[in-house]
Chains A and B, each alone.
Chain A
Amino acid sequence: MRKFSLMLILVTMVLSPAAFAQATATGTTAITVTIGAEATISITNGSTPLTETGTSFTNFTGLTNFTYQVRTSQASGSGSVTLKVTSDFSPANGPSVATPPTAGDTLTYTCTGSGGSSPTPCSSAQTASTISSTPVLTLATDKHSTSPGDSGAVNWTLVNDPKYKTGSYTSTVTFTISAT
């Protein structure tokens, strides 16, 4: 009888905590992500007016600002920002990148850039082209812009030729950023 009572007590002791305790179970899993080279660019001012200031027939000038986010690879990575005149000035009889009225009526630009990606701006004034892309910024291996993006700018100069007929002319320039 005493043996049975002892066993009953033991069983009761074992069961009672289970009846009121909090049951808990755990497990683990992994979250994986592969981060590759990536780049994106945004033109701050969608339209860049070129204006003439100062003396007569001074060149038209203007500024296009942009921001960009970039991440280049740790090994042999690189990046660049280039531009190309994808649509020449129109209507006709004004400035033209492809067929200027006078040789030397160029659309040229200089470049600036700054931020965490330590961009290298184009080293000298570049002549925009409708045929080929021209450099704006170059980026080295393992470069990273800030989270909101780094900034850059293109300072335009368009030769002011008296042959241009009066009027408003528009061209389209396409900026391209790439990263590997």
Chain B
Amino acid sequence: MTKKLVLLATLAALLVPCAFAQSTPVTSNVNVTVAAEAGLTVPTDANLTSTGTLFANYTGSNTFTYYIRTSSGSSGNGNIQLKVSTDFSPANGPSVASSGTTGDTLTYVSAPTSPATAPSTAQTASTSAATTVALFGSNAHSAKGGNSGNTVNWTLVNDPQYFTGSYAAVITWTISAA
């Protein structure tokens, strides 16, 4: 009899909590901090050619795609810049570094797609300072796949002083967002 009572008590102890239990939701937060961010596909090389009249300037273009997200606050902004990180070589051809004295400038006009805006005037490329390709305001966003169809149209003065031959310069592009 005692054994039966113990067994019954044990069963009751097991059943009672089940009979009155409630499901209690447990929550967990998933947090993400989305920051200003920017990326740029490296443009293909630009081959400058002279067409039309003799000693017409050399021209060519780059196209590029950008990805950007700037902050929504008043301080949000972004830009794309470029710099001639390696001047034309070999020697005796065009030179960006000495264009200030020779006037044989490498200039460009950019035509970026919205939300980017272009500088108001043609820019003269430099080996010492980065120059502006595009500007972004606050809360600027590209498409997920990037905004394509942006162009930079180059113009290199055609100086008879250049020796004949092929010359190449390296351009470093930088995009930033805050």
Contacts and interface: CB of A to CB of B under 8 A. Distances in A.
Contact of A32 (B45, B55, B160, B162): B45
Given A32-B45, A32-B168, A25 B40 contact: yes
A49 interface: no
Interface stretch (B13-21, B29-37, B114-122): B29-37
Contacts of A72: 164
Given A23-B38, A25-B175, A35 B164 contact: yes
A28 interface: yes
Interface in B86-136: 88, 93-94, 102-104, 106
A29 B171 contact: yes
A156 B47 CA distance: 45
Contact of A31 (B39, B41, B171, B178): B171
A28 B160 contact: no
Contacts of B156: 31, 33
Contact of B44 (A29, A34, A38): A29
A30 B37 CA distance: 25
A117 B161 CA distance: 9
Interface of B: 33, 35-50, 53-55, 58, 60, 62, 85, 88, 93-94, 102-104, 106, 154, 156, 158-178
Interface residues of A, number: 39
Interface of A: 15, 18-40, 69-74, 77, 116-117, 142, 144-147, 149
Given A26-B173, A28-B171, A71 B42 contact: no
A116 to B, nearest CB: 7
B178 A35 contact: no
A35 B163 contact: yes
Given A23-B37, A33-B58, 10 more contacts: A18-B35, A22-B176, A26-B174, A32-B46, A33-B60, A40-B54, A116-B160, A144-B163, A145-B160, A147-B160
B33 A19 contact: yes
Nearest to B84: A31
A7 to B, nearest CB: 14
B129 to A, nearest CB: 15
A146 B39 CA distance: 44
A77 B162 CA distance: 14
B33 A34 contact: no
A149 B159 CA distance: 10
A122 B106 CA distance: 38
A29 B43 contact: yes
B73 to A, nearest CB: 10
B174 A33 contact: no
Given A18-B35, A20-B35, A33-B156, A27 B162 contact: no
Given A15-B33, A23-B35, A24-B176, A74 B163 contact: yes
